Chains A and B, each alone.
Chain A
Amino acid sequence: MLGIENLLLHKLRSFLTMLGIVFGVGSVIAMLSVGEGASKDALEQIRKLGSENIIITSVKTMDEGTGTTTPNFLRIYGLTYEDHARITGTFKTVKQTAPAKLIRKEARLKERAMELRVVGTTPEWFDLVKRPVIAGRVIVPSDEDNQSPVAVLTEFGARKLLAAENTIGQALRIGGDYFEVIGIVKSESSETGSIQIPDQEIDVYIPLNLARIYFGDTIFRMVSGSFERERVELHQIIVRIEGTKNVESTALAIEEMLKRFHKKKDYALYVPLTLLRQAEATKRTFNIVLGSIACISLLVGGIGIMNIMLATVTERIREIGIRRAIGAKRKQIISQFLIETLVLSIAGGIIGIGMGILIPLLITCFAGMPTVITPGSIMLSLIISIGIGVIFGLYPAVRAANVDPIVALRHE
């Protein structure tokens, strides 16, 4: 009896009228899902670093006046064992620390030989960079105390050396020394290179104290025909803080302390929590920008509906007159036209949601971009389209209700 019949009678017009809402809602969902998808990866990776962690890495500095041409120049930079000890000992909020010393060494397992990235570290590492153990075990404090020559392969390293479970217990030669393989741990691979994951370039772990004794702190490298010597004690320190709320203040304190003991800024602090916050803020901005664009298209869609409804009121003025003469109250005319607008906008919204789900799927399928459709954005779109129906339907409906039945009946 009410609006729906009239809408079905003018199918093409009804469809064209709701098109604005269809595209508006479709673009809201599509844009939000692209935004969500783009930031999801980044957020995920930052989260993997641990929101309670601070990662300090050594940074090679360029000294003024000395270039790589100077032979036998010894470059000293980076974090020191003392830094590690100070960070561990000074701050109450520091729960755990894990130092890492990176050495590139020729290694051999049975017949396979290649250069591996060896990391000397302490048992804490395996607490802070938690990875599932595939086989065997990880380094434990007694290994350090006994200075046992043990090695834990990462998934990467194991793959390179063609090591499997039966490799446990075999001897791995690193440099000139032999280590017993005691375990294999999973590796976390990062697809985008923007964020460093602590273990993404590590093949094998050995106890830090052994690495120090066996390989020392000086690294020789052949660079374009000349030697380059570097002295780096630690390449990385991972600091776990007690409580998320202390992370940022402790990071500042550690930086202050490092500044005092380092002449140059040959270290860098990564605070995943800060990165996470920044990434989330970026995402919010992104969403606001995309959302505003989509809202403008929804607004245009709403105005389109209002325009058509106003035209409809004029066109159907006689019908309104008949209904009023028969005894329809003003509010019944209002609700009739409001229902028509609502049906249009909600139907448009639903088609738009369909489109908004389809577009991201196509984007993912053809452009390979990750997209995530959140239930929130669908709910939001539905609420917005209902809102548009009410807001832009009310004025035409009130106009319709205020039609004078006598004038309307005389209207040709």
Chain B
Amino acid sequence: MSKGILRLENACKIYHMGRQDVKALAGVSISFRSGSFWAIMGPSGSGKSTAMNILGCLDRLSSGRYILEGRDVSALDDDTLSDLRLKRLGFIFQSFNLIPQLTVQRNIEMPLYYLGWEVTRSTSRARELAEKVGLESRLNHRPAELSGGEMQRVAIARALANDPQILLADEPTGNLDTVTGNQIMGLLLDLNQQGKTVIMVTHEPDIAAFAGQRLYMRDGAIERIEGETGETI
């Protein structure tokens, strides 16, 4: 067994839809190595979103184990999971998910607020991150005044605020044109090269091509794995 930073062991997720039980994940076992860049692909209903929610500590497994940075988190309570999201993970969403009434500055600062940082410290941290994604001139704008690519860069800056080892991106280019999408992917590649583990859900093969490894899912199970160091158990 490899020493993956994220590890699913026989992970099952069952949704009760009326009388029917839907198996969104049917015994998935996979390990994501630290510093790798994964693309999870598959048609809708294949279980990739569910896998993402599990990996992102937003949801809990029905059975099986999820080991995050060496710790079994499958049976933790809501508060502890919130804490893991806050300290260990960074999220990037398809629809950016910025808070419309807050400025770029405040959006980037949000995780730091929940981490309890001092205002002056988090202000300079937000400025630093905005520079990193090339948005230092937009700090006092509201999301509505930004383009899609800019919004996604704000979201990336926010995801980096807590300096996580793991970035989870759910269709990060889904709402962007090709050029902007490629810019965002470039940013994610840079981050990967700086040592972050990136796991991305996408259904676009062009985008998936940026990733080192590709996991194809179908009907809640792993169909195949492509890429140089793909490992399964």
Contact = CB atoms under 8 A, between A and B. Distances in A.
Given A322-B97, A325-B91, A332-B114, A406 B53 contact: yes
Interface stretch (A1-9, A67-75, A205-213, A222-230): A1-9
B106 A327 contact: no
B97 A327 contact: no
Interface stretch (B29-37, B75-83, B130-138, B214-222): B75-83
Interface residues of A, number: 21
4 nearest CB pairs, A to B: A327-B86, A327-B85, A329-B82, A322-B97
A406 B81 CA distance: 14
Given A324-B82, A327-B111, A406-B59, 20 more contacts: A1-B102, A1-B106, A1-B110, A1-B113, A5-B102, A319-B99, A322-B97, A322-B98, A326-B91, A326-B110, A326-B111, A326-B114, A327-B82, A327-B87, A327-B114, A327-B115, A329-B83, A330-B79, A331-B79, A409-B93
A289 interface: no
B58 to A, nearest CB: 5
Interface string A1-31: 1000110010000000000000000000000
8 contacts: A323-B110, A327-B82, A327-B84, A327-B86, A328-B114, A329-B114, A406-B58, A409-B93
Contacts of A9: 101
Contact of A5 (B82, B93, B101): B101
B contact residues, range:
20 to 34
Interface string A307-323: 00000000000110111
Chain B's interface: helix, strand, loop or mixed, by majority? Answer: helix
Interface in A170-202: none
Nearest to A331: B79
A318 B101 contact: no
A318 B143 CA distance: 15
Contacts of A405: 58
B196 interface: no
A409 B114 contact: no
